[in-house]
Amino acid sequence: MDSLILDSNTWLLVLTGAGVSAESGVPTFRGMSGLWEDQHVEAVASPEGFRKDPSRVWRFYSERRKGAAAVHPNPGHEALVAWERHLGDRFLLATQNVDGLHTRAGSQRVVEMHGNLFKTRCSRCERPPFDDATVYPTGTVPECDACGMRLRPHIVWFGEYLEPADIQRIEDFSLRAATSGGRLVFLAAGTSGAVYPAAGIVDQVRKAGGETWLVNLDPAENSSRFEHRVVGKSGEVLPTLAKLA
């Protein structure tokens, strides 16, 4: 297996998907067969589902909070922390996962593209998202202290756009790398390669002349667009993949 050299000239952009969390025991939507209690996941993960039955949505996310709080970061998460410590500001981690395992492991330069399971925001007013690990009792729909409207999980649901600031942060990192004269590397781990715009990052990095790596147990839909492909679990591959120079 080739080694990923992380030296003083390297800028590393990492993208992680559900496969990384699954190795810690976090169930994925795909693992749920797209259903929850015989309902399509969209019924509890969309603005329409929230308007129709907010208590059911909160029951779903409270169950997810309970499950995510009981698992722990795995060696893949820990390897990324070590890489960040080595590279400093030349490292950025973008994740599609909402379970907070990366920050619990110690990652600091993190873009949570799809939100965070342990944060809540108002469905109406401009109150900033706030930390909230509450597992709400069945039937509960929490209300905003500022305006009295319903609170919702701080998650990017089906049919919603990613935060422009998050996309900009990723683009700015790639631009800084390109103008620094350094070597830009993009590594994706545990991703399906099917969800955009994340699935298109590999193409952007290739156009910028960057190096691309994929670490996946199962083939991703965009596997062919990566220069280096390593088959295996991220928790087993990442700890031995890089050489810090």
| Residue 35: band (very low, low, confident or very high) from pLDDT cuts 50, 70, 90 | low
Mean pLDDT of 214-235: 96
Mean pLDDT of 167-187: 95
Return the C-alpha torsion angle 112, 130, 101, 6, nearest 10. 50
Closest CA to 125 of 146, 156, 153: 146
The one catalytic residue among 72, 114, 154, 228: 114
Task: Assess contact for 20 and 189: CB atoms under 8 A.
Answer: yes
Residue 40 annotated as catalytic: no
Instruction: Please give the model's pTM, rounded to 2 decimal places.
Output: 0.94
Mean pLDDT of 4-24: 97
Task: Assess contact for 11 and 180: CB atoms under 8 A.
Answer: yes
Spatial neighbors of 126 by CB under 8 A, at least 6 apart, are none
**Has residue 65 got a pLDDT over 70?**
yes
Mean pLDDT of 198-224: 94
